[in-house]
Structures are given as structure tokens and as C-alpha cells.
Amino acid sequence: MQPWSALDDQAVTTSRALAMDAVQKVGNGHPGTAMSLAPVAYTLFQRILKHDPSHPDWIARDRFILSCGHSSLTLYIQLFLSGYGVELDDLKSFRTHNALTPGHPEYGHTLGVETTTGPLGQGVANAVGMAMASRYEKGLLDPDNKTDLFDHNIWVICSDGDLQEGVSAEASSLAGTQQLGNLKVIYDDNRISIEGDTHVAFDEDVSARYKSYGWEVFEVSAKHNGDVDREKLEQIMEKALLEKDKPVLIRLHSVIAWPAPSAQGTAESHGSALGADEVSATKKVLGLNPDESFVVPAEVLDHARKIKERGAKNYQTWQVKFSEWQSANNDKAELLRRLINHELPANWAKNLPVFSTEKEIATRAASGKVIQEIAKALPEFWGGSADLAGSNNTTIEGGNSFLPATSQMKNAHPHGRIIHFGIREHAMGAILNGIALHGLAKPFAGTFLVFSDYMRGAVRLSAIMKLPITYVWSHDSIGLGEDGPTHQPVEHLATLRAIPDFAVIRPADANEVSIAWREIITRAQPVGLALSRQNLPVIDRTQNNSAEGLSKGAYVLNDSANNFDVILIATGSEVSLALKSQAELVAQGIATRVVSAPCLEWFEQQDQSYKEKVLPKSVKARVSIEAGIAMPWYKFIGDHGVAVSLEHFGASASATTLFKEFGFTVENVVNAAKQSIANSK
């Protein structure tokens, strides 16, 4: 390690000035934390992190997450100084349209940003997922721990706000149980948020809390003048690197907006530009020309960008060892190549089950059977549930529990394929995001559909980042019965469908489940599977069209005649009801088409000619049938259509009783069809 130099001091000073200038120029943003954390971020990028700016996707790199995403300049300035492609003009364009420097870091938009952060707490939980993924992937590539090629750390900077959010507590608790020794979190304890001193709402002993989680905790006090004790912090960072058996929390005491004469330590500096006078005064304190903005001395930038040389040297040294490993481990090298390239093995789906019509089966149970076959074909496929594996059918048989090597729990294995998230739905979603972001694994996890509310923030981020994650949500309607309205989803399908770039699939039967999983794995997009608790008939495909139609989102399941009077559109358990209703309508002389519409998002992606074939505009009599609110359906049934839906909460009774009580009967569907026909005349 090179000794700390005067140029390093200048680089930190420059970082503080850039943070002030960028916010002042655009007129909004969060300068205070970026100013006080400048020495922290600089030390990380220049002296601690294993990374190579020329190879930002290097699989052995350390990951860095800025969980307090509002302080995005903390990251952008280091990406600029390190040579990741962010340049001075990008800092001048901070928080403006199409800039590489949006208000919060966005994954896939700016090179070097490992995850989208901004909703507080999510980054901490993403980091837990990355740390878990690192261990699991190590098991795929180096199960006997013969090399350090794939060993790396996950570093986080988080804020008071991150640790107030429950999602970080959920994830941190699990991280302690998992003994994630490659997770290192720096907690910036500056005691300031938008409403002022955080002690108005948050005065707990955070260090004691994290110790109780099973973390190693270090404390770094601020200097007497209020600045970060950078030297002491680096010593603690080095200690943190030696800790292999516990996650580490470094509690860093800082003064927000240091060294601004009037703004330091104030709530105003958290989320507002300092103002021209305060910027000028601060630059004088820093020994800078107050009349100049966005000044980066050439010698400072040259010095900082020497990290590219050091990174390239480390990468090349690693590459030599990696080539040797490839030669000695052909099978694992081929697996790694496939995973990096996001390829699937040939014929991976050949053993996905085809279900017989002889026996009814709940779609959650069918999903469990499909999961077993996917797991046999794809070692990168792993997951679990929020303490509901038996109900969600998410357990990989014989997969062992993903737990640290020291665990005394039954079937524990550090590279196990069954993740026990505990009753932590929000953290589970955010951890899945971290696993997917880490790059090689295909994660899934389950809970009841009604509890998707607890994880919605993480699901939304899955969609924003377009991550290949599968949410398995069982107990999808009033069909779960006696547990009552607290457990019966009513509005959930509609609200999840409202998330852009997220697909909700509610299969009609077991064979639609099998096709759904095949498409999910192939498409590698964020998806939610809504599955039944109750047994459903397996639709006779000799009398109805193939379940392959699921791949288009909606398809014609059955036509009673070439020309039909009404279209019944249904999802999930209500598709069988639609078929029974069709039979009654036909008996009454009303020609009827039944459309199974398991995924409205995929249907919307089809060309207009296909959509017209399934739902011809000429047939205005339409009935939607779904045991949830009708909000999404009016687009498909139009002004003349009738929705058979559930516009109120459920009740505690058997599924049979509730479906009958709330109008999901042949009689009601037939009457709705007749009403729609009358409306269309």
C-alpha cells in the first residue's frame, strides 16, 4: 500500500468541492453527506476495494453499495476520480435529464453502480444478498475451497435512515445468522436527517443491536474538529478485512457538511444546496479559490486515476491464476462460462412435467414439482421462502439448508440450495435482488400472495432493474378459505400488475404452471407467480387448446363454434369455472369462446394481429372472471363487458362456500354473459 500523500489530501478536498458545486449548479440535491464522506469513499476506492475500472464486470471484484442513495455524489465523484467513465461534464450535469449522474444511483445506467439505491435500507439488504450469492457461487465453482480466485467482499456505506428502515433490520439479522464474513458495512452516524437530529425518533444503541445480531462492531469517533478520522477508519477497514466469520459494522461518527462554517451539522445541508455564500466560505476553509467551480487539478486527477494501473495489475495477476484454474477444472470452467454468458444448457427443459387429467392438483403443488426438475438441470437455481416452504412448495429436495459451516442445524451446508429467509418478506425480496445483481445465480422465493404487500418496495426495484427473479406467491385468492380476509388477496393481482416491467402469471392448471416456469427461466425477467392453495382440475388438452398458449400471455382455450356470441376471459382457478359456464351457455344456444389469460403483461406484448385473433373487436360481449378486483379488466372487456370479480374483502369459510357466496358460480357467469350480450346490442 502506498503511503497517504498530499495529493490524496487534495483529492479529498477536491471531492468535497465537487459535491458542493454539483448541487449548487443544479439547485437541488444532497451535498452534506457527500462532503463529510469524501475521505471515506476515497479511501475505499483508492486503498481498500479490489476493483479494476477497465474491467467493471470482473467477477472477483469487491462490490460497493451506496445504500444512502440520496448521497449519490459520494459515489459519482469516486467513479470520476477512478476512471469509470464518469467525467467532469457529467458532474456538471448532475440530476439533469439523460445525465450519467441521476439523482440516485441507477443500475445499468452508470458504469460502476452495482445496484439502484434511494429507497432507504434496500442497499443494505441487497448487500446481504450479494454476500450470500458469493458463498453459493463459490460452492458451484470451488466447493472444496482450493483457491481464493472467487473470494471477495461486499462493502456498503449506509446512513441513519437506512438503519431505521425495517428492511435493513430484517436483512442484518439474517446476515448474522448466516455469518457472512465477506460483508462490511460502514454506518455514517451523523445524527442528521430531514427533520433534524435523528434522536427525535432514533436513539437506540445501534452498536449493541448489531452485536446482538452476531456482527463484529467497530466504532470510529470523529476528530475534535469534526472531520472524519480517516487514518483511524482505514486501520479499522484493514481489521474488517481480517474478519472472515462475522459481518462487520463500522460505526463512523461524522459531522454532516463538514467543514462548511454555518451549514455543518444542520438538517438543511442534508437535502438542499448550501447557497453561494456558504459554498464560497467553505472553499476558503478548504484553501480553495472561492470564485472557481468544478476545478480538478490535473495532478490530482492523474494521481487518483493511477488506481486504474493498480487495478489492471491486480486483474492481470488474477487472470493468470484463473487461466490455470480453467485448465485444471474443465467442467466448472464451462459452467462459469455458461453462467457469465447467461446461457442455458441444451434441452434443459426436457424433463419438465406434463400433468395427467386423472387427478386434480393445486398449482402451488404443481410448481413444487416443476421446481425439482429445474433444480436438476440448473445448479444456479436456488431459493427458499419466508418460513412457508411447505405451503409454497419451494423446497429443493435434497438441496440442504443454506447455512454457515458452523451451523448445528439439520442438513446445514454452506452451499445449500434451500434458503431459510425467516418471516422477513421485505428483506427476502431485497436479498433476491442482491443475489441476482451478483451475477451468476437464478434466485426464487415464496410467500403468500397477500404478503407481497410486505415486499412491494423490493419487487418494484426488481422491475426497475429488470432482474431475473421469480416470486412464488401461493394462496392466491379466497380459495385459501378458513384463514379469512387477512390472508385472502383481493387487490393484490391488480396492484402488482400496475408495476411497469413486471409480469404477473396466474396459471389455470398444472400444465400452465410447467409452461410458465419454462418461460420464466428462458426470458430471465422479474415475474410473480400467483398459485392456488386448493386443488384444481388439470384441463383436458385433447378437448381444449395446448397450454403452450401461456407463452403468449393469453390464448383461446376453447371455442364452441367458429362464430361465437360472447367471450369468457379468466385466470387461475376461475378458468375451470369458465369452461363449466361455457358448457351451460352452449346448452342454452349461446356460442361461447373461453380465453385463458394467465399473464396480461405478456399478452400486451403480442402483435395486434394475434391480440385481434384472441379478442376480436367484433365481439363486444365479454365477461372477465377473476377472484379479485376488476380494475385491470375493463381494458379488455370494454364498455359492453361485465366483470365477475370480488370488490370487497373475503371471509373465513371453506373455499367452496366462499366462491358460491361471492358469485363465482356457473349461474352468475351465465347471467353475466347474457347481460353483456344485451349490452352489446
Identify the CATH number of the domain in which residue 156 sits: 3.40.50.970
Catalytic residue among 137, 170, 425, 519: 425
> Does the residue 348 lie in any domain?
no
Q: Say whether both 507 and 562 belong to one domain.
A: no
Average pLDDT over residues 115-135: 98
Smallest CA-to-CA distance from 257 within 92, 9, 23 is with 23
Q: In this structure, what C-alpha cell is assigned to residue 21?
A: 458545486
pLDDT grade for 408, boundaries at 50, 70 and 90: very high
Same domain membership, residue 594 and residue 515: no
Asked if residue 353 is part of any domain, the answer here is: no
Answer whether residue 245 is part of any domain: yes
- Please give, one letter per residue, the 3-state secondary structure of 72-111: HHHHHHHHHHHCCCCCHHHHHCCCCCCCCCCCCCCCCCCC
pTM for this one?
0.98
Query: Looking at the structure, do residues 379 and 468 belong to the same domain, yes or no?
Result: yes
Q: Quick check: 553 and 597 in contact, CB under 8 A?
A: yes
**Shared domain check, 368 and 278:** no
C-alpha closest to that of 197 among 160, 227, 251: 160
Tell whether omega for the bond before 489 is within 30 degrees of 0, i.e. cis: no
pLDDT at position 549, please?
98
Residue 375 domain-assigned (yes or no): yes
Query: In terms of domains, do 40 and 76 share one?
Result: yes
When the pLDDT of each residue in the chain is averaged and rounded to a whole number, the result is 98
Tens-place pLDDT, residues 353-406 = 999 999 999 999 999 999 999 999 999 999 999 999 999 999 999 999 999 999
pLDDT at 681 exceeding the cut of 90? no
Per-residue pLDDT at 1: 79
Q: Residue 416 belongs to what domain range?
A: 363-530
Between CA 408 and CA 417, with CA 412 as vertex, the angle to 5 degrees is: 160
- The Cα–Cα gap between 589 and 600 comes to 30
CB-CB contact of 569 with 621 (8 Å) = no
Question: C-alpha cell of 372?
Answer: 425439482
Q: Do 301 and 373 belong to one domain?
A: no
Same-domain pairing of 515 and 574: no
Residues 165 and 303 in one domain: yes
User: Residue 431: is its pLDDT beyond 90?
Assistant: yes
Q: Is residue 337 part of a domain?
A: no
Phi, psi of 379 (to 5 degrees): -65, -20
pLDDT at 636 over 90: yes
* 3-class DSSP state of 2: coil
Do both 102 and 205 map to the same domain? yes
How many structural domains comprise the chain? 3
Do 558 and 520 lie in one domain? The reply is: no
271 and 377, same domain (yes or no)? no
For residue 607, which amino acid is it?
D
Q: Kindly state whether residues 525 and 557 are assigned to the same domain.
A: no
Query: Do the Cβ atoms of 303 and 47 come closer than 8 Å?
Result: no
Burial string for 319-349 (b: 16+ CB within 10 Å, else e) reads eeebeebeeebeeebebbeebeeeeeeeebb
The pLDDT value given to residue 364: 98
What was the pLDDT predicted at 481? 93
Residue 664 lies inside a defined structural domain of this protein: yes
State the CATH number of the domain containing residue 663: 3.40.50.920
What's the pLDDT tens digit per position in 318-346? 999 999 999 999 999 999 999 999 999 99
Which pLDDT value is given to residue 462? 98
Determine, yes or no, domain membership for 347.
Answer: no
Is 540 contained in some domain? no
Tell me if residue 425 is catalytic: yes
